[in-house]
């Protein structure tokens, strides 16, 4: 790429959610990509929603097998893409997770920890007895380094994601990403 | 100028005596270094864990430096705090981490410590919280003044860091 841009192509899937899941619950997962201002999507979807996966026996992993395919173009490594996941059981939020897309080419198995916000007021605390679960208005805020100081969160569960990524034109621009493990 | 990208996350804090932890972080670097984009300091959310003592912050870091020299290679300076049920925060650990000088993907542990008070202070700390803090946090970086401190071991903060260098080879820097 002679115009100072490089390409990042990633493809993979959200394999499964590993969380305390009771029999009879049904789960879904939303993913969205967040990247810096210089990053443009050349192909693929920025966000997606999985199918509803039902849990038959207690404690089993919730397989989603949701494909992810996206191609980015950028001039600057700053604002490297991140994936933000929101996991729901029925309509109740069970956790948010985020992770950077791996910065090295090849196959990567990520396990992304989930955490859910805790109520910050007494009323909110009372609400938890009635099944109320606080949610973030914009889960994308988790991907910003600006900080989310006052949010209290409780971590629970993990999402397993497989990602293959390929770069094009990084070395020509003088970048050295190091030895690939 | 040679450039360096530091992209990664503050993964987790474990081994601390209590949950409900947050981490304040900032980058320290020499005079030759300049931040082109990205934040150089911040604070994570308050995290606790349901089943173990592993607080998974998963807090993103993404910063872009330019440099004229390799002196003063960046370090991440962290302070871990515990937020108690009354909304007071108390210091749970100081630590710093040197950013690796070769490009690549790293998972690094930062071992933290905190000042160790006198018997009377520890007694108060046990029941009331709080505890001694450094008046001059720069002491964390100085090897010459450490001998004055009395410390105790706290937990481990784990980082995942990717270092990407640009144009270092052009200036004859040998890093591999």
Residue A166 is predicted with a pLDDT of 94
pLDDT at residue B4, rounded to an integer: 94
Nearest CA in chain A to B162: A103
Number of domains in chain B: 1
- Nearest residue, CB atoms, B39 vs list A146, A149, A177: A146
A107: confidence class by pLDDT, cuts 50, 70, 90: very high
Is B61 in contact with A112 (Cβ distance < 8 A)? no
Distance CA B4, CA A37 (A): 19
A36: contact with B, CB 8 A cutoff: yes
**Residue A150 pLDDT level (bands cut at 50, 70, 90):** confident
Dihedrals phi, psi of A83, to nearest 5 degrees: -110, 135
Chain A contacts of B54, Cβ < 8 Å?
155
Query: Residue B75 belongs to a domain with what CATH number?
Result: 2.60.40.150
CB A147 within 8 A of CB B42: yes
Residue B138 confidence (pLDDT): 82
pLDDT at B82 over 70: yes
Task: Tell me the pLDDT tens digit for each residue of B30-50.
Answer: 999 999 999 999 999 999 998
Count of CB atoms within 10 A of residue B175's CB?
14
Indicate the helix (H) or strand (E) that contains A181: none
Q: What is the pTM of this model?
A: 0.89
Q: Which of A77, A107, A118, A171 to mutate: most B Cβ within 10 Å?
A: A77
Residue B7 lies in a domain: yes
DSSP bridge pairs for B75:
B28, B98
Residue A153 has what pLDDT? 92
Q: CA B94 to CA B157: how far, in whole Å?
A: 10
> What's chain A's average pLDDT?
91
B49 lies in some domain? yes
pLDDT classification of A149: cutoffs 50, 70, 90: low
Residues B130-153: pLDDT tens digits?
889 998 888 888 888 888 889 999
pLDDT at B85: 87
The confidence score (pLDDT) of residue A2 equals 67
Q: Report the candidate in A104, A34, A94, A106 with the shortest Cα–Cα distance to residue A70.
A: A34
pLDDT at A58: 92
Is B45 among the domain residues?
yes
Range of the domain at B46: 2-112+155-166
Closest C-alpha to A77, from A180, A167, A181: A167
Asked if residue B142 is part of any domain, the answer here is no
Q: What is the DSSP-derived secondary structure letter of residue B55?
A: E
- Does the CB of A150 have a partner CB in chain B at under 8 Å? yes
* Distance of residue A51 Cα from the nearest chain B Cα, in angstroms: 26
Q: Where are the domains of chain A?
A: 6-168
Domain A6-168: which topology? Immunoglobulin-like (2.60.40)
* 8 A C-beta contact, residue A115 and residue B93: no
SS3 at position A101: coil
A49-84: pLDDT as tens digits: 999 999 999 989 999 999 999 999 999 999 999 999
* Interface size between A and B, measured as CB pairs under 8 A: 129
Q: What is the mean pLDDT of residues B64-71?
A: 92
Looking at residue A18, its pLDDT comes to 94
Q: Inform me whether the pLDDT recorded for A134 exceeds 70.
A: yes
pLDDT of residue A174: 87
d(CA B84, CA B81): 10
Q: A146 touching B, CB under 8 A?
A: yes
User: What per-residue confidence (pLDDT) applies to B116?
Assistant: 92
Residue B23 falls inside a structural domain = yes
Chain B residues lying within 8 Å of A100, measured CB to CB: 7-9, 60, 62, 162
The predicted structure's pLDDT at residue B143: 83
- With beta carbons under 8 A apart, name residues in chain A contacting B63: 78
What is the average pLDDT across B118-128? Answer: 90
Give, in order, the Cα–Cα distances in Å from A167 to each of A78, A80, A174: 15, 13, 13
What is the tens place of the pLDDT at every residue in B2-22? 999 999 999 999 999 999 999
Distance CA A179, CA B85 (A): 46
Question: Does A1 score more than 70 pLDDT?
Answer: no
Task: Reply yes or no on whether the pLDDT at B154 is more than 90.
Answer: yes
The answer to the question of residue B40 being in a domain is yes
Answer whether residue B128 is part of any domain.
no
B159 lies in some domain: yes
- The reported pLDDT for the residue numbered A179 is 80
Give the pLDDT confidence score for residue B48 in this predicted structure.
Answer: 93
Percent of chain B whose predicted confidence (pLDDT) is above 90: 70
């Amino acid at each position: 790429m002679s115009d100072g841009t490089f390409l990042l192509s990633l493809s993979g899937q959200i394999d499964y959610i590993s969380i305390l899941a009771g029999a009879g619950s049904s789960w879904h997962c939303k993913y969205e990509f967040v990247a810096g201002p210089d990053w443009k999507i050349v192909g693929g979807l920025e966000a997606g929603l999985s199918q509803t996966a039902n849990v038959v026996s207690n404690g089993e992993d919730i397989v989603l097998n949701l494909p992810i395919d996206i191609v980015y173009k950028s001039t600057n490594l700053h604002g490297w893409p991140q994936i933000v996941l929101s996991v729901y059981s029925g309509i109740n939020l069970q956790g948010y997770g985020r992770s950077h897309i791996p910065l090295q080419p090849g196959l990567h198995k990520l396990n992304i920890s989930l955490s859910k916000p805790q109520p910050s007021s007494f009323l909110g605390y009372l609400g938890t007895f009635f099944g109320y679960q606080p949610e973030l208005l914009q889960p994308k805020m988790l991907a910003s380094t600006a900080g989310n100081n006052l949010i209290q969160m409780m971590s629970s569960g993990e999402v397993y994601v497989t990602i293959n990524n390929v770069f094009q034109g990084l070395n020509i621009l003088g970048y050295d990403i190091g030895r690939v493990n | 100028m040679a450039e360096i990208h530091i992209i990664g996350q503050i993964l987790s804090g474990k081994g601390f005596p209590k949950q409900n932890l947050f981490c304040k972080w900032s980058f320290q670097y020499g005079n030759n270094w300049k931040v082109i984009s990205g934040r150089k300091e911040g604070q994570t959310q308050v995290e606790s864990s349901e089943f173990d003592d592993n607080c998974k912050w998963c807090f993103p870091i993404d910063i872009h430096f330019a440099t004229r020299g390799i002196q003063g290679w960046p370090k991440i300076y962290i302070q871990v705090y515990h937020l108690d049920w009354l909304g007071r925060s108390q210091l749970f650990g100081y630590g710093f981490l040197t950013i690796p000088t070769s490009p690549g993907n790293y998972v690094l542990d930062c071992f933290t410590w905190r000042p160790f008070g006198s018997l009377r202070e520890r007694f108060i700390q046990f029941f009331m919280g709080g505890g001694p803090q450094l008046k001059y946090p720069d002491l964390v970086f100085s090897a010459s003044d450490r001998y004055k401190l009395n410390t105790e071991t706290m937990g481990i903060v784990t980082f995942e860091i990717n270092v990407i260098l640009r144009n270092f080879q052009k200036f004859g820097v040998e890093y591999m």
